[in-house]
Chains A and B, each alone.
Chain A
Amino acid sequence: MCTVCGCGEGETKIEGHDHQHDHHHHQHHDGHGEHGHTHDYGQGPAHAHAPGLSQSRMVQIEQDILSKNNQYAAANRRYFEQLGILSLNLVSSPGSGKTTLLTRTIDDLMANYAICVIEGDQQTANDAERIRTTGAKALQINTGKGCHLDGHMVGHALEALKPEQGSLLFIENVGNLVCPAAFDLGEAHKVAILSVTEGEDKPIKYPDMFHAADLMLLNKIDLLPHLDFDVERCIGYAQRINPRIKVLQVSATTGEGMEAWYQWIAASRQMAMVGNPAVPA
C-alpha cells in the first residue's frame, strides 16, 4: 500500500488509471516524506534509552476515524465549487433501477447540460458502458472487495474524467444501503433511490442512509397497481428518520414524475452556482 495516500489498498481499479506511484498526489499531502534519516533518541519521555524501564507512553489523538476520507472529500468539494459542478451521489440497494434512471435522465437532460458519470461497482465495466451509449462521459471504478466508493477513489476518477465547468456529475455508488452512508465523496447531495418492489420499511431498516440523503426517489411507481406497497407509509418512515428529506415518485420506464426530478436538479444546480463567478448561469 502506498503510505502517502493509501493507494493500492484492496483491489480498487479505476478505468484508465494505471496506479503508477510516481504520481502527483492531491495537494493535501504536503509535509510528508521529509524524514530521510532517523534520529535514535529513544521514545521515552526523556528521549533517552533506559534499559529495564518501560518506554510505553500515552498519546492523545482525538481524531475521527474517517478524517482521512473527509480530507479527500473536502478536496473534491473544493474542486466542484471552483468549477461550478453539481455533483450528486446516487445510493440504493442493488436492483433499484439506478442505472436505468440515470440513462433516462441523461437522455432527457443532455441538451441542457454537460453530463459526466462515475460508476462504482465491485466488478465489471458494464454500467459505464451502458452510460456511454447515451453519449455522456463515464468512468468505471471497480472496488474489488470494497463495498462503497470513498473520497480518494473519486479524487482519482476526477483526474481522469476531467468534468467541465458547470457540468452535472452523477456518482453512482456501489449498490448497498449500508456502507456508502458513512463515506463523504464531496458531493452536493446524496440521493437515495428506493424502488416499490422493495419493502416499504427500508428507510427504517437502513436508517443511516436515509438520514444522510437529501432526496429520496421512489422509483418504479408504474408497478404500484401490481404490488402491495404502501407509498404513504414508506414516505412516513423516511421522514421519521430524516424530517428534511424530500421525496419524489418517479418511473424511469414510463417517465412519470421525472419532470419533478429534473426541476430538483435544475434548482440544485442553481444553488451550486450562486456566487460562483466561474460559470455563467
Chain B
Amino acid sequence: MHEMSLCEGVLQLLEEHAVSQGFSRVRRVWLEIGALSGVEPEAMRFSFDAVMKESLADGAQLEIIHQPGEAWCMQCSKPVQVTARYQSCPQCGSYQLQVTGGDEMRVKELEVE
C-alpha cells in the first residue's frame, strides 16, 4: 500500500507550513480520510509514527476524521451513501452512481508549538 508515501506527503506539507506559519513542533495532526479514498486508516497510523520519527512531528498524535462515501444516483435523482465504488444504489439497486464525495484525503488542521 502507499500509505507510507502518503505520510511522506503529509510530512512535506508540515515542513512547508512550519516555515510559512512559523512553528517548530507539531503536537497533533487531523487528517480527513474519505471512505472511497483507498486509504486504510490502520496502515496510515502505522506509517505515520514511522515516517514522523525524528522530524518536527516526532510523537505527534494522529486524529483521523472519517468521511462517508457519497454518490448521486441517476435513477433516483438524489444523493445516497455508499461504502465502496462498485456498490449499487442502496435504494434502487442501479449501478448508475456518480461519486460526489468521500474520496478526499486532506490535512485539515494542526496543533503546533
Contacts and interface: CB of A to CB of B under 8 A. Distances in A.
A243 B112 CA distance: 44
Contacts, number: 104
Interface in A21-79: 32, 35, 41, 43, 54-69
A127 interface: no
A149 B8 CA distance: 14
B76 to A, nearest CB: 16
Given A148-B2, A204-B86, A56 B13 contact: no
A102 interface: no
Given A56-B27, A68-B13, A181-B38, A43 B113 contact: yes
Contact of B86 (A32, A60, A178, A207): A207
Contacts of B9: 65-69
A65 B86 contact: no
Nearest to A179: B2
Interface string A204-222: 1001100100000000000
Interface string A225-239: 000000000000100
A240 B107 contact: no
B111 A58 contact: yes
A147 interface: yes
B106 A62 contact: yes
B110 interface: yes
Contacts of B27: 56
B49 interface: no
A57 B22 CA distance: 11
A63 B6 CA distance: 13
Given A43-B22, A208-B38, A61 B113 contact: no
Interface in A142-188: 146-148, 150, 178-179, 181-183
B80 interface: no
A67 B17 CA distance: 13
B86 A148 contact: no
B109 A64 contact: no
Nearest to A207: B85
Given A148-B5, A181-B38, A211-B85, A65 B106 contact: yes
Interface string B1-12: 110011011101
B86 A58 contact: no
A68 B110 contact: no
Scoring A43, A69, A241 by chain B CB atoms within 10 A of each residue's CB, the highest score goes to A43
Contacts of B105: 64-66
B112 A59 contact: yes
Contacts of B96: 243
Given A62-B106, A65-B13, A150 B5 contact: yes
Interface string A1-23: 00100100100000000000000
Given A3-B15, A56-B112, A65-B31, A241 B21 contact: no
29 contacts: A3-B15, A9-B8, A32-B19, A55-B113, A56-B27, A56-B111, A57-B23, A57-B111, A59-B17, A59-B21, A59-B23, A59-B110, A61-B108, A61-B110, A63-B106, A65-B10, A66-B9, A66-B105, A67-B13, A147-B1, A147-B5, A148-B5, A150-B5, A182-B6, A183-B5, A203-B86, A204-B86, A207-B85, A240-B95
